[in-house]
Amino acid sequence: MKNRYFYNISLVGVPIRIACLYPHEAFEAGQTDEAPAASAALEDGRIEKARSLYYPDLTDPDIEYTELANAVGDALLPFRRCMFHGTAFLWRGKAWIFAAPSGTGKTTQYALWKTVFGSEIRIINGDKPILEFCEGKSIMVHTSPWRGKEQMSQAISAPLGGIIYLKQAAENRMERLSVKESVLPILSQIMCTHKETETTLQACDAAEKILKAVPVWGLSNKGDADSAILAHTVILEHEEKQR
Amino acid sequence: MKYNIREGILRRELCGETLLIATGDAKDACPFIKQLNDTAAYYWHLLEQGMDSAEMAAGAAKEYQLSEETILPGLRDFLKDLEEKNYIIAEG
């Protein structure tokens, strides 16, 4: 099959031409007349190859949409941006990201924060926000067309405050991770096909910038309200110390 | 025994940590990332120089001022692990 649908979308100021086998409503908004600076498409046969990685009830258009995130991730990396797998939300003027492999509880933890702390927080992006590496160590967090199953997204941006890496556990516990402990979790969540050495090196550069700029915590949690309260308390204490 | 590093395996230092990252076709053969401790990073450096296992043992013994008999078990485990994970391929 040949790509039949083409979208020219602006992602954090970078116009990217995305070529698809199937139409995707998520790419309809944000289209631009600017000449594309980069392109993204899946290699031939990628959907078939990737099918075994997904739940059997997922359709080919769903698989294409998800797989394209890595291809678009590649396209963004040369422009000092990266796509990051996580749930990003705005709190106290900064963006915070729950990161973890799929199914670990990122959306659950966000929902718990929303239940317990309600108006204090606002969603930025529920699945794959885009990080922009600005002058100095500042990293801005923006939404993207990849919004997750719950379609959580708002057109708000904020400087990254920190990343909370989640694990399911029998008890709630939160601790600041060392750089050594953070390297694999952070690099693993940067969307990249790793087809080419150059983009892999750029993904490593992005991971390094994140690790040097913001704290990373590990939150082992039961998926209950107490875990949200624990995380809220720990980060608040950290923020108070920074003043 | 001589080993060749699989094509597409990238070594990268990241915030002082040594990582092996599988790129290209290597992604289908190996775990995506492997974090090496200091000793494993040193052994990998010797593999990159094309040394065989005997040369690696001799080099490590000199580097760490230990006997080769002391070095060998850890070195064998390192090479076995990397070969099983397809990062390296034994020659011959």
Q: How confident is the model at residue A242 (pLDDT cuts 50, 70, 90)?
A: confident
Of B12, B24, B32, the CB nearest to A195: B24
Quick one: what percent of chain A has pLDDT higher than 90? 89
Chain A residues lying within 8 Å of B12, measured CB to CB: 200-201, 204
The candidate with the shortest Cα–Cα distance to A108, out of A224, A226, A218, is A224
pLDDT digits (tens, 9 = 90+) for A141-196: 999 999 998 999 999 999 999 999 999 999 999 999 999 999 999 999 999 999 99
Give the pLDDT of residue A233.
97
The contacts of residue B37 (CB under 8 Å, 6+ apart) are none
Give the pLDDT of residue A80.
97
pLDDT digits (tens, 9 = 90+) for A101-144: 888 999 999 999 999 999 999 999 999 999 999 988 899 999 99
Chain B residues lying within 8 Å of A180, measured CB to CB: 16-17, 35
CA–CA separation, B43 and B30 (whole Å): 19
Q: Is B35 on the interface with A (CB under 8 A)?
A: yes
The candidate with the shortest Cα–Cα distance to A210, out of A83, A79, A103, A90, is A83
Q: SS3 letters for B22-83?
A: ECHHHHHCCCCEEEECHHHHHHHHHHHCCCCHHHHHHHHHHHHCCCHHHHHHHHHHHHHHHH
* H helix or E strand, kind and range, residue A220: strand A216-221
ipTM for the predicted complex: 0.88
* H helix or E strand, kind and range, residue A48: helix A46-50
Cβ A126 vs Cβ A152: under 8 Å: yes
Length of chain B: 92
Please list the pLDDT of chain B residue by residue as tens digits (92 residues). Answer: 999 999 999 999 999 999 999 999 999 899 999 999 999 999 999 999 999 999 999 999 999 999 999 999 999 999 999 999 999 999 97
Among A49, A194, A212, most B C-beta atoms within 10 A, so best to mutate, is: A194
Whole-number average pLDDT of chain A: 95
The contacts of residue A102 (CB under 8 Å, 6+ apart) are A85
Chain B residues lying within 8 Å of A207, measured CB to CB: 14
Query: Helix, strand or coil for residue A35?
Result: coil
Cβ separation A187–B27 shorter than 8 A: no
Distances (CA, A) of A20 to A7, A36, A226: 8, 16, 43
pLDDT digits (tens, 9 = 90+) for A66-80: 999 999 999 999 999
Token pair for A124: 């930025």
- Compare A209 and A52 and report the one with higher pLDDT: A209
Give the pLDDT of residue A136.
85
